[in-house]
Structures are given as C-alpha cells and as structure tokens.
A and B are shown apart, each in its own frame.
Chain A
Amino acid sequence: MNAQRRDDRGNMDRRAFLKTTLLASGALLIGVGSCGNPNAGKTGRETWNPNLYVRIDPDGTITIVSKNPDAGQGVKTAFPMVVAECLEVDWKDVHVEQAPADDRYGRQALGGSRGTPDGWDDLRIAGTGALYLLMGAAAKEWGVPTSECSAASGVITHEPSGRTKAYASLLETAATLPAPEVSELKLKSRPSEFKLLGTFVPGVDNPKILTGQPIYGSDIRLDGMLYAVYQKCPVFGGKARSANLEHVRSLPGVTHAFIVPGTDEYSGLQPGVAIVAETFWEANSAREALEVDWETTHADSSEGYAEQAKTLAAEPGETLRHDGDVDATFDRSVTIVEASYHYPFVAHATMEPMNCTALLHESGKLELWAPSQNPQTQRKLISQTLGIPEGRIHVNQVRIGGAFGRRSRLDFAVEAAWIARETGRPVQLLWTREDDMAHDFYRPAGWHHFKAGLSDEGRMIAFDHHFITLGMGGKTVSGARLSANHYPAGLVPNFRLRQSIIETHVPTGPWRSPGHSAYCFAYQSFFDEVALAAGRDPLEFRLDLLSQSFGKPQLDTERGSGTLRVAAEKAGWGREMENNRGLGIAFHFDHRGYAAHVAEVSIDGDRFTLDKVYSAVDVGPILNLSGAKNQVEGAVMDGLSTTQLETTIAGGSAQQTNFHAHPMLRIDKAPEVECHFIQSDNSPTGLGEPPFAPVAPAIANAIFAASGTRIRELPFRRSGFIL
C-alpha cells in the first residue's frame, strides 16, 4: 500500500506517519499524523499532535477517538470499526470516545459525504500501525521473526510454537520500538479481506439513546443555567428597531430581555430580541407579550419568483458550457422533446430544533455545546463576531438530532454565545419549531427548461438546459449552483447549459446532497420523457446514455450502468404490471457515489402508494452494513417525504412553520426497501447523500407508468397526486 494519503481532492500527496507514547497509566497511545499538520513528527509528547489516535489500556480496552460529529450518519460506529478491523481486535473490546473541536484532528465537519473518503487511509494506518507494533513487541519478547507471528482477537500467536501473548501484555515493550514506517504497512483494502467491516454492527450510542441519557445538545444542564429564546424578524434579514423590553422583563421567570443588533450576514449573528428566563417555558411564554418594531427591506414571495422565472425563460441566459453545436443539431434532429420542471424551497426540519448551550467562564474562556456539523467553523464565527480569540473558545461535540445540511450554518451557536456573554450566566438557547422552520437555510427553489434532440436511431444527440436559479448580487446562493460538468455533460455530443439568476432575500443552504437533491428530479424525469418520445425503454435509454462519452464525463460510466442494471434486475424490470401499478427508474451520481432506484407504485384516483423501492448503490466497500442500509432506507423515506413538501414564501417570510403544515412521511406510508450494494475494490466513499437524489424521479416515473400523467413539479400534489 502506498505510504501517502489523499488530500481534500483525493490526491495522494501527503506523507502520513505514526508515533507512539506510553502514558503514565501504562496505556499505549498510537497516533497518525501528517506533513499537513505543522506539529506532526516532532519529538516529545507536548508537540506531538496526532489527528487520530488509538489507545490500548493495560486492561485490554481499545479506545478509539471519533473526531467527526455524528447526526445519524453513523461515523461514530463505522470509523472505529475500520481501526478495529486493521488492529485485529474484537468489537466488544472497543470503546469509542468523542473528540472536542480541535484543529489537531484536521477537518471535523459533517457534510459532503466526505467523512469516509477522507478518513479511510488514516483509520487503516492507525489500526495497522498499532498491529505491526504489537507484533514486533511479541516477536522481540520471544526472540522470533515477526513473520512467524499472527494476530486475532487482541492476541498474538507464534505459529510454530503455539505460544500466545495478549496485546495488553505487550504495551511496555511496544513503546520501546520505533513506530513502523507507514510505507511498510500492508493495509487491508478489499471486501474479501474484511472480517468486521461489512457486517451489521449496532450504533455505539444506542445504549444511551435507548434509555434517554443526556447526549444531545439540548440535554445539557449546567449549574445556574438559564434558558433563552430568540425572536428574529419573520421577514428574512429584518432588524429590531425597538421592543417593549421593560414589560417583558417584568413577566414571570424572566431575567433578561434585550435587543441584539446582529450583522447583515445570514449565516452569522442575525438581529433579534433575546428573552432569558429560569425555564424555557417561561422564556417562550414571555415571548407572546413581546412587541417589536421591525425594519424590513423586502417582501419577497414564491409567486414573485415564479413570475420572474417566466420572464427569464424567454431570455438566453448565461451559457455555462457548450459542447458541439446544439442549435444546428436541433435543426437536423428527427424529434425534439421540450419540457419544463420546477421545485420549491424546502425546510430541513430536523427533529431536534437548533440549540446551543454557552458558558463564559470567569477566566474568559467561552465553552459551548452545540449540535453543529462544523465545530471548527463555529469557533471561528464566534471568535470573529464576539472578538474572543479562537484559543479561548472550547467547543464540545454532542450527538446531533438530525442535520441534513442545516447545521453547517451556525447562526444559532453565535446567538447563544452572544446571549451568554450578555447575561453572564450559562445559557441554553433553544429555538422553537416555529423559529426553526421560519429561519432555515432552505433548499432553494429552481426552474429547469429542457430541450432534447433525437437522431433517427432515437439517440439523444443534443441537449439544451436552461436553469433558472436564485442568487444574491448576481451570484448563485448556496445550494443553487449547478456544475457545468455534471451528468449528462460529456455523455451527449451537443450539450449546452445556460443559467439565469433571480435575486432573492431568502436564506438558502446545503440540503442533503445540495443541488442534486432537487435537480435530479427534473432531468431524471425528463429523460423518461425523452425515452418515451424515442420509443425506447427508460432503462435501455439510460444505459445507452452511459455507453458513450464525449470528452471527460465526471463519472465512471461502468459503475453508473452497474447500479442501473442491478436495480432493474432485482425489480424485475419489464415485467407485466396490473392496471394502476407501475415501475419507474432513476439514476444519479453525486459525492463520488452511484445510486439507482426502481420504484413500484400503485395509484387509486389522486392517491399514490409507494409499495417498494429496489435500490442499487455503489460506494465501494461497505463499512458498517447496518449504518449503510440505514442511510439507503432513510434516503428513500426522505425522498418520498420530500415529494409532499414545500416552503412557500410570502411577504418576505416562510409560510409553513410547524409540522402540521409540513406533512413529513409517517410510518403508515413507509415503503419496503430492498437494498443492494455493489461492493467493488474502489476506495469507500460516503453514503449520506448519493441515494437521496434519484428517489423522487423514480417515483414520478412510476406514477407516469401507472397513470400516464407526467409530474413536472414538486410537491406532487401540484400535479394532482398525494400520498
């Protein structure tokens, strides 16, 4: 195996190395560092800052630090499994510890399905390096070559003599040996080599989750802690001019009420009014009496955006990519297919609302507990906004009650920090559901106008795509950008992507597979229309599209085709369907992962039921089969749910602010999911995002197959179908 590790772009260009330390307790600490880390490789415990470590205690306990936040994507279980696999220890002997936010650990974010690809090498180096060290120690004590030794379940065996030594008995000797060179480590990389990886392992936090122990941010309780609510202007970006603070302060339980001037930055400290009380209930009850004079600057609306989108559709827009000659090819195409698609804003609606607990110590140190996808960014933002040096801000990581991209924005954390400083008491800021849904960073709305030209063999020879999206100051807002290189770019000889931007004041942000999660619905539905116009089977059409390339497509077309074939085969694609039943297929590639779904639906008037989904996913080897299946099953549920949801904007505000107006999927509509992983020898990549995007179009295509009605808009009810 290569001694080098991948950088953020997946290039192998940094050297990793190992270092060991014997702690006073007799425990052996094995760390992995890299040249990317300025402190790495220096001698002495004080300057050694491994970005990942394993500790073996004299009692045989293996402790693995989990550096990234876990919001249900399962890294806190899957990553230690990788170390345990390579270290040859039993899972029951592994103990997982959550790291605080600390630059020593490198990137600690949750997002972009990057945890797995970024961590894969370090995790294996840590486990394998520790194993080599222990084998070396046993061999030294026995005076035999290491090649005669083997390891399993935390025990080294000298094969010729049958003698054994437990890891825990070898710590002192191991500490005297030089750390192995990473270049000499033979790292396990193929599913055929795994024993623990790829098996079904329940989450390490389950015992606490299932007994209601305090592990989430909103569970933090500190001595003398107060509870805060924070009222922001319902109109995005509005500022508080004045408020009846005297009256609010006089209400039961209320200790503080004040205006926070805030900044203009949506993802920073937004202006508002803080009310602090002895209990959350009292703080929130006092809010009912709060009267604020707000200064607002806009009255944006979904309807207004739709009008602008209509106008822009007639304009050429900015060309982001043009391969070949699209217009000339349309002129010689035998068939032209045109259709327009639209999807609305959608809120994240995590089950745990935004919250953060903050404590300004007398020493001036600010300590925070926040369910955050980016604990390091959080520290920076708070430092910049409050003027507290980053080194004096300590961020604890807590388990996160759902993220989906929402908690990459840290407005709630900086609000809590400000309120804690202002009150001089430990404070827990808890948003109500209404706060959470009225001040989200929504998945942006978008409009797609497609035109395809077909050859006489029914091949798509020209594809024009006018994407009308949202922006601020002429630049697309977060989650509203479409890569010019994305599928089907490079697969159609004449390809053009055009873009027009509508100015918005609505905060937007990443939402589970940002961009992809919305526009995949549009073009995977449209490709069904094109296949139909060409008189071709939707599966065959998609496979054909992946069979040739023009330039360099972003994806591996073989892996893409593989997922389509497996999903179709498992679903019995092409089988005879009863009346009012249909199969639909869709495929997508994002975040280095490949996913195809076949949806099986039945319809009854305007109601549809998603009976079953057949999923095929290729993200390389599977780490934890349970966590992996959970991600696919959850993505299918989330995808189905989102076909029913929208956040509409009127008068500059979000209109749906609690679950009664946001009908998320419930168990009685949950489909069966049959999930198949294609486990190649490619390096494993993330699974939080890739299976999501193709869910909605697979269902829409199945509804078409069952009913003959094409759905070109989300939520589905706008096309006459409800769940």
Chain B
Amino acid sequence: MPQVTLKINGTEHTLDVAPNMPLLWALRDKLNLTGTKYSCGIGVCGACTVLVDGAPTRSCLMPATTMADREITTIEGLSADGNHPVQKAWNDEDVPQCGYCQGGQILAAAALLEQNPKPDDADIDRAMSGNLCRCGTYIRIRKAIKRAAQYAAEEGGDV
C-alpha cells in the first residue's frame, strides 16, 4: 500500500493509503479528521473543501498520494480557537441551519477574503457558487462574508 506524508494544519502525518484514495477519505477514515464532509463525491457540492496551499480544493477528487509537500488546511485547522474572522462572522450572523456544508463554505470564504479583502455581492457569488447549501443559508453567507471582511479590517491583520 502506498505511503504518503501529509502536512495537515501544520502537522505532518505519515500514513498508508489505498491507491487512488482521495484526500477526503484519508482525512476522515485514516486520520479521523471528520470536519471535512462527504456529500457528492464528484466535486460538485463543495462540502469536502479544504485549502491546499491556500486554494480551495475538492478533497473528494484529489488522490491523497498527490498531496505530499503541500500545505493542507482543514476546517479543524483554520484557527487555533475558532476565532478566525470568518468563523466569528459565521456565528454572529448565525449562518448554519443543519451546518453540514458550512466547514466547506467557511474555507471557501476564507480563501476569497485572502484574495479580495472587500468583496461585493458579485465577487461573493462567483467565489461561493461551487458550494451547495441544501438548507438555503445563502443570504447569510453573503452577509457573513462582508462582516468577516470588516472584522479582518478591524483586526488590521491578514484574514
């Protein structure tokens, strides 16, 4: 069985993975990092979004063996204490309903704000339209991203 060393949330993990096993299942079933969610398995819903070198990536399609030497951030590692501006804004706007898709939404939003610290609705819609929410929290996602941009600006640091 192939072996791979993955750098996840700043920590290196060496593990045996089945050939072609996507990163999603290495995270969930090998490392018990279950914050990254399975929903479609074909890369169209965004529930499995992780950041790979800062870019939102569908972990359900990406073989784990191709992820060596990359910086992988999962929802568990976005911040040490849940106080990333996006996480704070997500709570203050009370975005989640069922909440299942929100880890992926938050990572996509964090990546957007890295690129564009003051996105408008059109920017948000473009960046976030790969992430499905069956409960329909889209209005609040727009609001929360704007609020997160504000929090980040107030903190004066990087998002």
Contact = CB atoms under 8 A, between A and B. Distances in A.
Interface of A: 71-74, 200-203, 205-207, 209-214, 216, 218-219, 221, 227, 252-253, 279-282, 285, 349-353, 399-404, 430, 432-433, 626-627, 630-631, 633-638, 641, 658-660, 664-668, 670, 672-673
A200 B125 CA distance: 26
Contacts of B38: 218, 280, 353, 430
Contact of A432 (B41, B75, B126): B41
A412 B36 CA distance: 22
Q: How extensive is the interface on chain B, given as a class?
A: 35 or more
Contacts of B126: 668
B92 A202 contact: yes
Contact of B103 (A71, A74, A212, A433): A212
B18 A665 contact: no
A664 B134 contact: yes
A281 B18 contact: yes
Contacts of B138: 637, 665-667, 670
Nearest to A207: B82
Contact of A402 (B32, B42, B134): B134
6 contacts: A202-B94, A212-B76, A219-B34, A351-B101, A402-B135, A637-B138
Given A206-B90, A667-B128, 5 more contacts: A202-B91, A211-B75, A221-B32, A279-B18, A285-B20
B57 interface: no
Contact of B139 (A253, A658, A670): A670
A233 to B, nearest CB: 21
Contacts of A631: 97
A369 B28 CA distance: 17
Interface in B1-25: 1, 18, 20-22, 25
Nearest to A211: B82
A252 B18 CA distance: 8
Contacts of A352: 37, 39, 98, 100
B94 A206 contact: yes
B39 A433 contact: yes
B100 A402 contact: yes
Contacts of B134: 349-351, 402, 404, 638, 664
A212 B18 contact: no
B139 A633 contact: yes
Contacts of B118: none
B21 A433 contact: no
A424 to B, nearest CB: 20
Nearest to B96: A209
Enumerate the 9 nearest inter-chain pairs by beta-carbon distance, A residue then B residue, closest first: A212-B35, A637-B136, A401-B100, A72-B98, A72-B97, A212-B75, A670-B138, A209-B99, A219-B34
Interface string B110-129: 00000000000000111011
Nearest to A200: B94
Contacts of B158: none
B141 A667 contact: yes
Contacts of A432: 41
Contacts of B42: 433, 658-660
Contacts of B137: 630, 633-634
A626 B92 CA distance: 10
A281 B29 contact: yes
A61 to B, nearest CB: 21
B100 A433 contact: no
Interface of B: 1, 18, 20-22, 25, 28-30, 32-42, 44-45, 47, 74-76, 78-79, 82, 87, 90-92, 94, 96-103, 106, 124-126, 128-142
Contacts of B75: 210-212
B98 A71 contact: yes
A381 B3 CA distance: 43
Contacts of B35: 211-214
A278 B37 CA distance: 19
Contact of A673 (B36, B132, B139): B139
B100 A212 contact: no
Contacts of A672: 139
Contacts of A253: 18
Nearest to A202: B94
Contacts of A73: 97
A205 B132 contact: no
Contacts of B102: 209-210
Contacts of B124: 667
B126 to A, nearest CB: 7
Nearest to A201: B94
A659 B40 contact: yes
A279 B25 contact: yes
A633 B129 CA distance: 18
Given A71-B98, A211-B76, A658-B42, A279 B91 contact: no
A399 B74 CA distance: 20
Contacts of B82: 207, 210-211
B17 to A, nearest CB: 8
Nearest to A221: B32
Nearest to B21: A281
Nearest to B77: A212
Contact of B29 (A280, A660, A666): A280
Nearest to B25: A281
A662 to B, nearest CB: 10
A351 B39 contact: yes
A448 to B, nearest CB: 26
A201 B91 CA distance: 10
A291 B134 CA distance: 34
Nearest to A206: B91
A636 B136 contact: yes
B98 A210 contact: no
B39 to A, nearest CB: 5
Contact of A203 (B21, B22, B28, B94): B94
A515 B18 CA distance: 46
Contact of A351 (B90, B98, B129, B130): B98
Contacts of A665: 136, 138
B91 A207 contact: yes
Contacts of B90: 206, 210
B25 A664 contact: no
A660 B44 contact: yes
Given A667-B131, A667-B142, A210 B18 contact: no
Contacts of A633: 136-137, 139-140
A433 B90 CA distance: 27
A216 B136 contact: no
A200 B140 CA distance: 13
Contacts of B97: 72-74, 630-631, 634
B139 A210 contact: no
A351 B49 CA distance: 14
B152 to A, nearest CB: 16
A281 B82 CA distance: 30
Nearest to A252: B18
Nearest to A220: B34
Contacts of B29: 227, 279-281
B59 to A, nearest CB: 12
B117 to A, nearest CB: 19
B87 A216 contact: no
A402 to B, nearest CB: 4
A698 to B, nearest CB: 16
Nearest to A437: B40
Given A211-B75, A214-B34, A658-B40, A280 B136 contact: no
Contacts of B135: 72, 351, 402, 630, 634, 637-638
Nearest to B79: A211
Nearest to A73: B97
A349 B36 CA distance: 19
Given A279-B30, A280-B28, A630-B140, A666 B106 contact: no
Contact of A280 (B25, B99, B133): B25
Given A281-B21, A672-B139, A626 B37 contact: no
